[in-house]
Structure 1
Amino acid sequence: MNIGMLLNGSYPSDIRVRKEAETLATKHSVFVLCTKKPSEKALEIVNGVTVVRSISYKSLAHEGIVDVIASINFVHPFFKKELPKFIQKHTIEVLHVHDLPLAKTALIAAKKYQLKTVIDLHENYPAALLTWFSWRKNPIIRLKNKLFFGYQRWRAYEAKVVQQFDYVIAVVDEMKERLIEQHQLPANKIVIVSNAEKKEFAKNFEQESADYFSDYSNRFIISYVGGFGPHRGLHIAIEGMRMIAKEQPRALLVLVGPANNDVRAHLQQLIAKYQLENSVLIKGSEPFKNVINIMKSSDLNIIPHTSNEHTESAVPHKFFQILLSGKPLLVSDCKPMKRFVLEHQIGNFFEADKPESFAKEVLQIYNSYDAALEKANRGLEQSLEGNLNWEYLSSNLVHLYDNLKK
């Protein structure tokens, strides 16, 4: 079967899309229509996946303008123009669209060429819009988001388009439950494909490398690696450090990842407000090899997400990456993460949005570190020998396409 994936982003840098495409490429022909960076080839085969980079933006501002244009009627002009050529040249039989913004564009092409359709919902996109921009101060950006990227508008759009796809992919059970409850989507139309990592990812942690935190060898390192958006709960962790620092001055919270100026300024203000300059360190983006080293060199890895409609129906990739590091894990009690932690006894959790609960759990881990390491070892074992890996959890994706082929 010839599968055409649509991605308004870069390939193969999108982890979820790459894993899905490479898995399907073992049994089918997979073609990915995506965006092109100046340094990338327009056509390339990557690990058996044919990558067609036909969508180009002149700048981030240009991409933002096109996004606004696309949001007016939910049809992306660049993908609409390229899809006929893409479908005909590669004899596409099914369109697999990644996330909500390209859904209608895919449906229009699928109807014209009588193709099967799959929509892959990486997250609760309407709910994510509520959180992504809440700390942004630029009045133009705030106006744009209010006019074109409002929650109610995108939720109504989601409710309409998901009904028109042959199958809908959700990342966790909780997202499936949401789609059934909010949109009355039939359960047998929804397939769960989680963001688990491949077993071979563990090899990254086996490579010899210097301790990333060698300059802080006398500190108890609590690290977060990832995006700095409002829903990540980093402000909760910073506030929690007030209590932690008083009881255990060795503790050091390190936040690593990309952040726009508004978000970074907000977090820096909190650090200054609570006089935590010696207890919280903010770093920028790091290359992949350093991210791995950070997880491995930390005493505790955290995912302190706030509780909202977005985070209550998703589990990030780093959850499974941390498990493969063999180091202790602390998450907020958002339903999917709490469920994984409790079912497998692979980490600790605290009450989301509660700095005092975060502090209490960190101190508990510090004072009973052997117990935390035991859970971490169990997480590593479950990832390598159990069912918390991509090899096991991607079987639903394979079965989905077996059914479509029939």
Structure 2
Amino acid sequence: MSSEHVVMVVASGIASDARVRKTAVAVADLGYRVTLLYGELDATEPVEGTLGPARTVGLPVAYTRRDEQVERRRARRAWRPSWPAYRDGEREEHGRQALNTRRASKGDTPEILARRGIHWARRTLRAAQDPAFRLAWGKYDGLRARFVGRTWRSELPNIVDLERVFTDRMAAETPDILHVHDIHLLSAGVRVKQRAARTGRAVRLIYDAHEYIPGTVARTVLEENALKAMESDLIGDADAVITVSEPIAEALRDRYDLRRTPSVVLNSPSLTVESTCAKDVRTESGIEPGTPLVVYSGVLNEKRGLPTVVQALSLLPEVHFAVVCVPDASHWRAALLMKAARKAGVSDRVHLIDPVAPEEILAYLRTADVGIHPLIAGLPNHEMALPNKLFDYLFAGLPIVVSDLKLMGAFVRENRIGTTFTASDHRDCARAIREALENVKVYGGSARSEEFTARFSWEHQIEQLDQTYAAL
């Protein structure tokens, strides 16, 4: 039993973050005293609670710097004149009207937000899939960064907001070990470690990299480069690095010349904790037993490739598609997906439903016939990923259909747990779904050995966590 105090931090809420929740409980079960600090957007004061043996504190986060930057950029765009020139006073009036319209649009219906998001979604998809477009998109941002001399901190005002909220509270907890989940609080963690060192206290820092940052897409190339520069500047201050797959671990080691290859902790379910849920995905979707049901569970951003599945339904007239929407089914991206379903003529077979607690997800998914993950191709982070929903489907006993990305596709094919299709190809997606539905006994849970599932269980991942903490 260790008397050391572990302070875990994550910038977002923890209600649906299975990895953060399981890690906090696991480290506490290893004998450490654990406090989990997380960002709580809806709070006005700290929210105290518990998560098993771990203490939790939700900190109110106000993204003041970020919102100020957004407003300044909106104002600059709103005041930009068009041709021909304005008459006296018209430019000011036009600017005020445009800015007021933008401000008034906050809090609009999901349908309006969906229309506003179409341009961003299309641009992100093109940036990921078309290198020439990506290069052209980045030219202005690259020149601006070069001549204005902006740093990663000035391009990431949300990081400054998070530092302002978390740094002092993290230090006040007097941690022996800081466990930082994802990149957004890495700078706050480094600050706390350095501040403690100046007073003669040694605080060890663990960076839990949930993604391969150099292989992701952000809103602008400036933002992407800022995140990469931030990670490059700070990762060397971590005493240990954890990540989510072997290829990402090797890429991080090589890119940043790390002394040790990061530990790999998969985001997988537990074998010993039984999942129970009062609801199930089939009942919530209103689908009768015997009707083929494909399920996706997760966030709805454009990189997940969900429109490909929607289009595939037009070739599978008997199949229904349930989307367990994170954060919820009223999100504007859910409205955008339903718009694509109406365009494809399959809206009566696409069902948007709310998520359940991470501990309930396996039981919730089991009444589906197939689990699907249609990630788009072209992003290194995707090619090297083994996402948590892959293991959710695996442990729920579902045949799995995935886009044929380098690691995920190989994992599904080599272990004969499902089928693969060419990313973003709805015809090939329809073929893969049909094949999975026709071969449930070949790909489903009944065909898998206990030894196979044990290899990927959370209990095995706890051993990796234990070794990482012991090495500190």
TM range (shorter): 0.7 to 0.9
1:23 aligns with 2:106: no
CA distance in 1: counterparts of 2:45 and 2:402, whole angstroms: 37
Give the corresponding residue for 1:296: 366
CA deviation string 1:291-336 (max 9, x = no partner)? 5555211111111111222322322222212222122221222233
- TM-score with structure 1 length normalisation? 0.80
1:250 aligns with 2:333: no
Give the corresponding residue for 2:6: 3
- TM-score with structure 2 length normalisation? 0.70
The structure 1 residue matched to 2:435, chosen from 364, 373, 385, is 364
Q: How many residues are aligned here?
A: 375
Report the residue type matching 1:306 in the other structure.
I
1:277 aligns with 2:343: no
CA distance in 1: counterparts of 2:469 and 2:267, whole angstroms: 18
CA distance in 1: counterparts of 2:293 and 2:312, whole angstroms: 14
For residue 195 of structure 1, report the CA deviation from its aligned partner: 0.3
| Residues 217 and 197 of structure 1: CA distance in aligned 2, closer, same or farther (over 3 Å) | closer
CA distance in 2: counterparts of 1:208 and 1:234, whole angstroms: 24
For residue 355 of structure 1, report the CA deviation from its aligned partner: 1.8
Structure with max Cα Rg: 2
Structure 1 stretches of 4+ moved >6 Å: 66-70, 207-210
The structure 1 residue matched to 2:376, chosen from 306, 328, 331, is 306
| Residues 39 and 329 of structure 1: CA distance in aligned 2, closer, same or farther (over 3 Å) | farther
Q: Secondary structure at the match of 1:150?
A: helix
| Residues 118 and 66 of structure 1: CA distance in aligned 2, closer, same or farther (over 3 Å) | farther
Give the corresponding residue for 2:193: 110
CA distance in 2: counterparts of 1:171 and 1:301, whole angstroms: 21
**Ranges in structure 1 where 5+ consecutive residues have no aligned partner:** 131-144
Give the corresponding residue for 1:348: 419
Give the corresponding residue for 1:44: 49
For residue 400 of structure 1, report the CA deviation from its aligned partner: 0.8
Give the corresponding residue for 1:233: 305
Give the corresponding residue for 1:35: 39
Give the corresponding residue for 1:122: 210
The structure 2 residue matched to 1:394, chosen from 446, 462, 467, is 462
Give the corresponding residue for 1:156: 229
State whether residues 323 and 383 of structure 1, in contact with CA within 8 Å, keep that contact through their aligned partners in structure 2.
Answer: no
For residue 362 of structure 1, report the CA deviation from its aligned partner: 1.4
For residue 201 of structure 1, report the CA deviation from its aligned partner: 4.6
**Ranges in structure 2 where 5+ consecutive residues have no aligned partner:** 71-152, 198-202
CA distance in 1: counterparts of 2:44 and 2:361, whole angstroms: 24
The structure 2 residue matched to 1:334, chosen from 402, 405, 408, is 405
The structure 2 residue matched to 1:146, chosen from 214, 220, 225, is 220
CA distance in 1: counterparts of 2:37 and 2:408, whole angstroms: 32
State whether residues 171 and 192 of structure 1, in contact with CA within 8 Å, keep that contact through their aligned partners in structure 2.
Answer: yes
Q: Secondary structure at the match of 2:36?
A: strand
State whether residues 387 and 393 of structure 1, in contact with CA within 8 Å, keep that contact through their aligned partners in structure 2.
Answer: no
For residue 363 of structure 1, report the CA deviation from its aligned partner: 1.7
State whether residues 217 and 224 of structure 2, in contact with CA within 8 Å, keep that contact through their aligned partners in structure 1.
Answer: yes
CA distance in 2: counterparts of 1:350 and 1:382, whole angstroms: 27
CA distance in 2: counterparts of 1:172 and 1:158, whole angstroms: 18
CA RMSD of aligned residues (A): 3.2
CA distance in 1: counterparts of 2:50 and 2:299, whole angstroms: 29
CA distance in 2: counterparts of 1:67 and 1:91, whole angstroms: 33
Identity %: 21
| Residues 24 and 185 of structure 1: CA distance in aligned 2, closer, same or farther (over 3 Å) | same
The structure 1 residue matched to 2:167, chosen from 83, 89, 100, is 83
State whether residues 220 and 299 of structure 1, in contact with CA within 8 Å, keep that contact through their aligned partners in structure 2.
Answer: yes
CA distance in 2: counterparts of 1:175 and 1:254, whole angstroms: 31
State whether residues 376 and 424 of structure 2, in contact with CA within 8 Å, keep that contact through their aligned partners in structure 1.
Answer: yes
Give the corresponding residue for 1:377: 446
Q: Secondary structure at the match of 2:272?
A: helix
CA deviation string 1:171-207 (max 9, x = no partner)? 1112113213433334x241111101111354427x7
For residue 39 of structure 1, report the CA deviation from its aligned partner: 9.5
